[in-house]
Structure 1
């Protein structure tokens, strides 16, 4: 039995899709559906049961699970970078994760956890996932800090050698539609271009970056779940790893890929950076992927243009845009 927490969310539901694609249906989805549209991510999926995240935590704490567990893929968390309730993030992101990790370590259960590139803060110390440098990182928001705390705990206790924690970079793809303002720019651009024929990007405030020339490491969610599937099947590989492509691309590249996929003439408009972002905006992120490659991961990441074309053509532009 495979437990996928956050299994109705973006990456979690994509991994349920991957398990189904591999012929696996002995899955328990753990989540909090609330009143939003996350449930739509599950409509096309096959799984054994759904358990609310609070009930699942009680099951773990009392070791009262009605099924044997082979792996917990922990994608469940509050992922909002603007969440201000620090106590909530401490309990929901850090302590919940640590509780699941304890259970997996005690019962020899594979544990794959979602960390975040937000742990790197402003990027001044680079984006190298070498464990020696992780304690020096200083996240800029409470979400990143809650993820960083678990990575620090795993390093301090030695648990890092028996689990996987993945620092996801800029993930985009199907099943993110419920995320509101946290949706990827690809998803937002599709709607914006469809409505106006144009796409707006932030102008640059730095001489070393042209307008729209700011760079991010964009990675397709299908590539992410391929890496996670490989890790699930290679339990000898453990540690904290980046999960990006290792190749930063500009916002202009991303915009052009969306225009091309939509077969719409390119019209990129540059707008001033909002006051709230000035002096805090990241101009460059790029995952160092040497350690994951060195561990033997064979996944080839899609070119940005190919990934965007698949996302737009096979999902955003169709009547049923879900995996």
Structure 2
């Protein structure tokens, strides 16, 4: 059995889809659906059962799970604006510790989501070499909760036994439930469809023009292919960046969406809320040398290719979910 925590969420449900593409359906999905729309991500997927995250943790602590092949731990509070630090400590840090221990004690593969948010403002670079891990300074509590687990795993000598993935700016189908945390591409499609134009934040640094802030955008379909590769290569472990290795500007992203929608670009630059100005990342770009050196053969779609697939095959369709 394969267990995917956060399996109704964005990357989690996409990975269940990837497992289905591989012919795997013996999957336990763990999540907290609550009153969200996440359940819609599950409709097109094939899986064995669903368990609430609290009930699942109880089964883990009481050692009552059946034999499992792997836990792919994508479950977490992913809001970069979440202010409840105790909640993040328990939900993101301690929960992950318990699952990691269980997998190691039961000889099961453990792959978990770290985050590019652990790199902070990027002044220390984006190198996934373990040697510099302790020097990183996340800018928000979400990033810090992810960073704490990375550090714990390093101190416990576990990084040669488990896989942590530092996801950069992931976008694609099944993110619709995320509200304000949706990708700019998802938001852009709706804005352009409704108003004919797209709003982007102004820059407050002279070295970056408006809309020229850059991110490493990666399509969720590419992410789950890399995750599947790690699942099949148990000899490869450690913390790895998961981006394309090529930073692109918000303006380039906007143009890609307009082109995919067969519209002429029309961009309006608006003020950035003061509450996030001092925590805003102007540049992210994953160092991908380590993943390549590990032998991963996965290639990544260009931003333009991914935007076209997302817009034309999902966002503009009656059923926009992975299927």
TM-score, normalized by the shorter chain, greater than 0.5:
yes
Please list every run of at least 4 consecutive aligned residues from structure 1 whose deviation after the TM superposition is greater than 2 angstroms. 277-280
Which whole-Å CA distance do the structure 2 matches of 1:198 and 1:84 have between them? 32
- Map of 1:282 onto structure 2: 281
Which whole-Å CA distance do the structure 2 matches of 1:280 and 1:56 have between them? 35
**Paired residue secondary structure (2:321):** coil
How far residue 13 of structure 1 moved from its aligned partner, in angstroms, is 0.1
- Map of 2:49 onto structure 1: 49
How far residue 124 of structure 1 moved from its aligned partner, in angstroms, is 1.2
Which whole-Å CA distance do the structure 1 matches of 2:15 and 2:226 have between them? 10
Normalised by the length of structure 1, the TM-score is 0.99
Which whole-Å CA distance do the structure 2 matches of 1:113 and 1:241 have between them? 11
Which whole-Å CA distance do the structure 2 matches of 1:274 and 1:95 have between them? 32
How far residue 38 of structure 1 moved from its aligned partner, in angstroms, is 0.2
Q: Is 2:151 aligned against 1:148?
A: no
- Map of 1:242 onto structure 2: 241
**Paired residue secondary structure (2:30):** strand
Unmatched segments (≥5 aa) in structure 1: none
- Map of 2:225 onto structure 1: 226
- Map of 1:37 onto structure 2: 37
Q: Is 2:201 aligned against 1:205?
A: no
Which whole-Å CA distance do the structure 2 matches of 1:308 and 1:48 have between them? 32
- Map of 2:171 onto structure 1: 172
Which whole-Å CA distance do the structure 2 matches of 1:157 and 1:115 have between them? 17
Which whole-Å CA distance do the structure 2 matches of 1:201 and 1:145 have between them? 27
Number of paired residues? Answer: 322
- Output one character per residue of 1:284-305: Cα deviation in whole Å (capped at 9) or x when no partner: 0000001011101110000000
How far residue 272 of structure 1 moved from its aligned partner, in angstroms, is 2.2
Which whole-Å CA distance do the structure 2 matches of 1:97 and 1:50 have between them? 19
**Paired residue secondary structure (2:111):** strand
Normalised by the length of structure 2, the TM-score is 0.99
- Map of 1:77 onto structure 2: 76
How far residue 159 of structure 1 moved from its aligned partner, in angstroms, is 0.7
Which whole-Å CA distance do the structure 1 matches of 2:275 and 2:5 have between them? 33
How far residue 265 of structure 1 moved from its aligned partner, in angstroms, is 1.1
Which whole-Å CA distance do the structure 1 matches of 2:215 and 2:31 have between them? 29
**Superposed, which structure 2 residues align to 1:1-323 within 5 Å?**
1-65=1-65, 67-323=66-322
